[in-house]
Amino acid sequence: MAENRAKCAGYGFAAGTDAYAACMMQMDRDADEVGRQRQRAVGQAFQNMGNSMQQNRPVTCNTSYTPSGIVGRAPVGSTTTCR
């Protein structure tokens, strides 16, 4: 607010006048618009990030074990494939 007061006074508007009030109101509106633009930019960045992540396929891996043929023994080998 102090910065806006200084700007409006710098434009030659005297505090307490309608022109000064209009200047302050315009400064407030401008700040609100900048905030909305930033929110839109952040939202767009998150949307872009989500779109990028969706293009990457999830990886599914399956492991199959080759049994030893003897109960109670560990598997002889295993194979893992991922797609």
Q: CB under 8 Å to 80, separation ≥6 — which residues?
A: 61, 62, 63, 64
Spatial CB neighbours of 15, under 8 Å, sequence gap ≥ 6: 5, 9
pLDDT in tens, 4-22: 999 999 999 999 999 999 9
What is the model's pLDDT at position 55? Answer: 74
R_g of the chain computed on alpha carbons: 33
Domain ranges for the chain: 2-82
Model confidence over 26-40: pLDDT tens digits?
Answer: 999 999 998 888 888
Average pLDDT over residues 42-62: 78
- Cα 36 from chain centre: 14
